[in-house]
Structures are given as structure tokens and as C-alpha cells.
Structure 1
């Protein structure tokens, strides 16, 4: 058990508020990817069915849609099994996907996962405090 003094400290505030801040940073990074790198991503995945269907509107439908589109594309590139199986992703596009864009997508997914795991740990600690 922790003392009441700890929960009134700045360290406790940082531990609890950290995942929220990281979530905002991750959303801002996703928006950055959507607005600055979407054309390069669309060019890299030009033979994929997903890009053929949604290509003209990708990155142009608003904030929430931009976040969802980047999450979908990151999932398609980093965990491609389902997308390859249902035909949304072309295997040659996946093989030739630029490493610099893949690294940016890995950073984006890593920030999302860290914030979710951190939030889960904080909630468990607060529940059993």
C-alpha cells in the first residue's frame, strides 16, 4: 500500500496523467502522418485494393477519419496477414514499402500500445490501492 502523501505528489500526478499525454501526442503524430505523408503512403500502396477504393478521399475527410485511416494503414502494413488474405493489400506493395514510412508507422503504433498498456497498469494500481 502507498501512503496518502504519495498520491498528493507530482510523481503520482505524472504517473496517472502520463498515458493521457502520450495519447494526445500519438494522435498528433497520426494527424502529422495523415497530412504530411499520406501521398507517399498512397504511392507506395498504389496496387492495393484498399487504396484503389479509398485513395481519392484518404486524408481529406476530417480529423477522426484521418486518425482511423492511419490506424488502418498501419495495421495493414505492420500486421499484413489479414489484409493479404482478404485481398486489400498487394504483396508486392508490402515487399516494396519504403522503410522510412514503415518506421514512422512503427513509431505511431508503439506510442498507441505504450499508452494503452500504461493506462491499464495505472487503472489496476488505482483499483487495488
Structure 2
């Protein structure tokens, strides 16, 4: 079984995995990925998954694992460095920003509250006192 390889052709890095008929696949730019904290193997597996269409995810993972383990050390180092560049590009692209919110008072008032609160509380008590004062004077205890 032949080993997967990375070559530099015309200033571009290309991937070849001959036993799966993947020849001179040009690696995408690092800013085209949306991974957060990925490693070299994840990047390699995602590229295989993208290019080897029609094969299930589990089978792709097996292929990636098998070819990753037979690859030369410089191949794995290349993908680990490539993953670090992707992580740096993603951090720049998706930097966390916080929006500062202001608490705004509620300008809309409840109509029922406005209607109930027409008079100040003291005035309400005086009006209530006048209404019930006569009833209090006329009140009699009745015993059986």
C-alpha cells in the first residue's frame, strides 16, 4: 500500500492518496475552514470526506486512520502545521465581541394602572372615608 503524500506544485500544496484515486488535490486556503481547535488528522479526514463522495462517514474515518498511520512523519507534521494555521485564521475571523446593552425604561404604561391612579393616594383615602363615615356612624351591634 502506498503512502499518502504532500507535494508543492506551482507554490500550491497538493495531496495525493493513490490507493483511493485521489491525485494532486489542491488544499483549500486556511481561511476557508470554520473549525475551532482542530488538529491535523481532523483536517486530513475532512478533506478526504469532501473528495471521496459516495463513501459513508464511518468508512471515510477508517480510510483516514489507515492512511494517516502509514504516512511519513513529515506528512503528519505538515497537516498539524496546516491545522494550526487554520486555528489562527478562525480566531481572527470569529473573534468574540460583546455588545453593551443599555437598560431603557419602559415608556409604555398600562392603561388600567393609569385609570386607577388618577388621584393621589391620600385623596383616595379621604374620598373613601367620606363614603363610609355615615355607615360607620349608623352601625349598630345586634345580638340574638
TM-score normalised according to structure 1 size: 0.39
Larger Rg: 2
Higher relative contact order (CA closer than 8 Å, sequence separation 6+): 1
Bigger share in helix? 1
Bigger share in strand? 2
